[in-house]
A and B are shown apart, each in its own frame.
Chain A
Amino acid sequence: MSETEFGPAPPTGAPILSVIDVSKSFGSTHALRGVALDLHAGEVHSLVGENGAGKSTLIKVMTGLYRPDAGHVALDGHAVELRTPAIAQSLGIACIYQEPLVFPDLSVSENIFMGHTGRGRLVHWRDMDERAGEILRQLEVDIDPRAVASQLTVAGQQAVEIAKAMSRDVRVLIMDEPTAALSAHEVRRLFRQVARLAESGVAVLFVSHRLDEVFEISDRITVFRDGQHISTKPAAEVTEVSLIRDMVGRELSDFFRRVPHEPGEVALSVEGLSRAGAFENISFDVRRGEVLGFAGLVGSGRTEVAEALFGVRRADSGTIRTDGEVLQISSPREAMEHGIAYVSEDRRRLGLSLPQSVAANITLPGLRRFVSRWWLIDRNAERRAAEVYRERLQIRTTSLSTPVGVLSGGNQQKVMLAKWLDLKPSVLIFDEPTRGIDVGAKADVHELIGELAEGGVAVILISSDLPEVLAMSDRVLVMREGRQMGIFADADLDQERIMMAAVGVE
């Protein structure tokens, strides 16, 4: 840490909210080590850093969910004790999360005013609906204040969250990955709403992994790494390269670049695949030994296509063929029987059983193969199989019987990959395989994908990390809002062209 520690001179006047030397530990993990951050009225301040940098811990400290071990939060220069979320909110600190935290059964206006309905014991519905309508109009959204929240889209629910913050006379608005589930159009609108809030004097803290958005929206950018404050600079003084350098702590070496080689015959062929409300008319082939990238913004329907191929949710129409044979896939089990495997993007929710051991997780999809006489699990065979992957993927764990839950994110991700490799699939779909894992683990995953393709596996790589997709793929299919915008190969494999297709710029 150098001269950047306290950042450049604040844009205007004194900060509304200051985080001063805050530290927070969980057991032996130091999530935050003496970090500082200033938020000024009217500024949009971005906070970036890799997973584990301490961003979410800081948010929880600022919203009263965690209490710092050392240091404090100051509001208008006075130290405040944020003992509960209610206190933080009463002081004008609000937070919007990636997944909108709405009351699905309640009306929009109730969602907006819950917890601060006004004075008295009674709820004045008409009054509340009117006030809610007013705020929503300011946000340029056409949402009926009386509609039930569960019937809104994610973007609509997010707008309700922003309306909620506005209704509370918010002074500090924290936005934690708010754009992850939005379409391009919805992101635009969100940014306009944020800009309007900032104009009215609100201090906005914007936390995102999407650097292009960070550059677009920020006045200042702060970088955290390993629980420490690294830098705070005006956005104009920051370049993508310098930002990434601050985040990873070293020069970004070139991506692992896969050496493409002649692919074999078609392993998976998809024609006219559609599901209402999710994706329509998707057609492509993947050959053995080939990596087909799936590019597009989050929410463009890539995961939904993968889920249809894997039998999680059936497509309404279209055909799926493996090795020329038309398949009717209605469950993951059937997909697996045809050699299709899917490494999901959501490790905790869909990927791993955290209390179960490393070995048990690895052998889960192919458990049948480890069943010996009388339906019992052959533990030695299981252990041997797990050991192979522990070495091959360099999974760092004290033992194979350790619960997966205690491993680090990167190692959990490797366990998840091992789980599917052990099935020896002919088509392997990776969904965001490197999201949220550290640089070292990332390189390991890239290397593994290369090896798999070389070994004759047909790989589909879904990733929102465009350089990653470009470096790893032979061809790239681009999706936007559920539609296939084209398949790019050879000379067309160009970051700008793909991005333009993904955001819909002609």
Chain B
Amino acid sequence: MASWARRSTWELVLLVILAATVVFNVSDSSGYLSIDNFVNLFQLHIEKIIVVIPMAFVIIAGEIDLSVASVMAWSASVLAWMYEQDAPLVLAVVVALAAAAMAGLIQGWCVARLGLPSLVVTLAGLIGWRGAARILVEDRSIGDFPRWFDQLGQDKLVGPLPVSLVIFFALFALGWVILARSAAGRVLYVIGDNAEVARYSGIDVARARLALFTTSSLVAGVAGILFAARLGTVRGDMAAGFELEIITIVLLGGVSIFGGSGRMSGVFLAVLIVLNLRNGFGLANVGGNTQTGVIGLILIGSVIAQNVIDRLGNRTRAPGAPTAAGMPDPAQAGAVGA
């Protein structure tokens, strides 16, 4: 009950913040409330918010994936490199997605089978996959894709919605249903709360984690390709630092960094808040770097605020704070693979 109260309190807080950002945006710009503007709002950050979905899954399951931005660059680079070698672009897309999935599979294997902490594994991935991308594209900027590919990033598919937005909403709805209603979602929550309980209940925790990290990287791969399509070029340093904003949105949405709790409704509110903030910054002529700084502030602020709400809710935390997502849990580290 405590967690339920906390969640709804937090979502109420998010609604208030959202309302404030919307009011600010409306007062600042008359064109704000148009559908085109909303589409534009999503469109500008679509790659990040697509990756928010699997990141929510990862953090709910008590892990973390710092490698997503690098995997985005990796898959886009594979695509660009193949295209450069005169491979058909469709084939390049398929191989790029496979390359992304492979990245996730490797990381997942380390976490699931070897029992390495995901923080360290995906930190190695953050450096490694970016490095792999650099090997392929070096310091070039690869572009001149066929028109249909560039259109993937811009053209409207359903009414005013471009392909990438359709993908986002479809994935988001799917994610929502999985978390709230499916057996897989239930399993993720239990693993995030207590992986040993899951194992003793006959759940194949290793396979679930493997699937989790593979999915995370695969979706990051999709996002990377969409990013390439929207920009029209691929560079080795694309999407650098995106993981910060992605993780921020998930945690702002009320997903606990300790795993085992959080809902997509909160995450959706957090997506809207961050998009509106970004829009508001744009209107107020705030520079990109300051924006990143504010995102960092939001990350810290939202976790502190939720801690405070927890404490006000008279939830006495057991001595020995829970292990944060992806951080090594010594109690379990010894058990795995023994």
Binding site for B on A (CB under 8 A): 26-27, 65, 104, 310, 312-313, 331-333, 335-336, 342, 344, 349-356, 360, 364-365, 367-368, 370-371, 375-377, 379, 402-403, 406, 419
Which residue of A has the minimal Cβ distance to B189?
A: A356
Q: Which of B76-84, B198-206, B280-288 contacts A (4 or more CB under 8 A)?
A: B198-206
Closest chain A CB from B201 CB (angstroms):
5
Closest residue to B256 on the A side, CB-wise?
A355
CA–CA, A10 and B149, complex, Å: 90
Instruction: Tell whether, in the assembled complex, residue A365 and residue B189 are in contact, meaning their CB atoms are under 8 Å apart.
Output: no
Known: A65-B319, A376-B177. A403 touches B202 (CB 8 A): no
User: Given A356-B193, A376-B177, A406-B1: A367 and B261 within 8 A (CB)?
Assistant: no
Can you list 27 A-B pairs with a CB-CB distance of less than 8 A?
A27-B314, A104-B330, A312-B200, A313-B338, A331-B199, A331-B204, A333-B204, A344-B200, A349-B196, A349-B197, A353-B189, A353-B190, A353-B197, A355-B189, A365-B202, A367-B186, A371-B183, A375-B178, A375-B183, A375-B184, A376-B177, A376-B181, A376-B182, A376-B183, A402-B1, A403-B1, A406-B1
Alpha-carbon gap, A365 to B199, bound state (A)? 10
Report the separation of the CA atoms of residues A354 and B261 in the bound assembly, to the nearest whole angstrom. Answer: 11
Residues of B contacting A27 with CB < 8 Å?
A: 314
Chain B 256-279, CB-CB to A under 8 Å as 1, else 0, gives 000011000000000000000000
Which of B1, B4, B202, B261 has its CB near the most chain A CB atoms (within 10 A)? B202
A416 smallest CB distance to B (angstroms)? 10
Which residues, 146 to 185 on B, are CB-close (under 8 Å) to A?
A: 177-178, 181-184
A135 to chain B, nearest CB (A): 27
B9 at the interface (CB under 8 A from A): no
Q: Note all chain A residues with C-beta closer than 8 A to B330.
A: 104
**B187 in the interface (beta carbon within 8 A):** yes
Q: Say yes or no: B197 contacts A352, CB within 8 Å.
A: yes
Question: What number of A-B contacts does a CB cutoff of 8 Å give?
Answer: 86
Given contacts A356-B190, A375-B182, A376-B181, are A364 and B201 in contact (CB under 8 A)? yes
Q: Which residues of B contact A376 (CB under 8 A)?
A: 177, 181-183
Contact of A332 among B1, B194, B200 (CB under 8 A): B200
Contact A332 B186 (CB under 8 A): no
Task: Contacts A65-B319, A333-B204, A365-B202 given; indicate if A349 touches B314 (C-beta within 8 A).
Answer: no
Min distance, Cβ A132 to any Cβ of chain B, angstroms: 24
When the two chains form their complex, are residues A332 and B202 in contact, meaning their CB atoms are under 8 A apart? yes
> What sequence of 0s and 1s flags, for each residue 1-23 of chain B, a beta carbon within 8 Å of any chain A beta carbon?
11110000000000000000000
Residues of B in contact with A (beta carbons under 8 Å apart): 1-4, 177-178, 181-184, 186-187, 189-190, 193-194, 196-204, 260-261, 314, 316, 319, 330, 338
**Residues in B neighbouring A356, C-beta threshold 8 A:** 186, 189-190, 193
Q: Which residues of A contact B181 (CB under 8 A)?
A: 376-377, 379
Compute how far the CA of A108 lies from the CA of B330 in the bound complex, rounded to whole angstroms. 19
**What CA separation (Å) do A439 and B319 show in the bound complex?**
29
Q: How far is the CA of A350 from the CA of B203 in the complex (A)?
A: 13
A sample of 7 more A-B contacts (CB under 8 A), given A351-B197, A367-B187, is: A332-B200, A350-B197, A351-B200, A353-B190, A370-B183, A371-B182, A375-B184
Within 8 Å by CB of B201, from A65, A365, A379, lies A365
Q: What separation, in Å, do the CA atoms of A388 and B1 have in the docked complex? A: 23
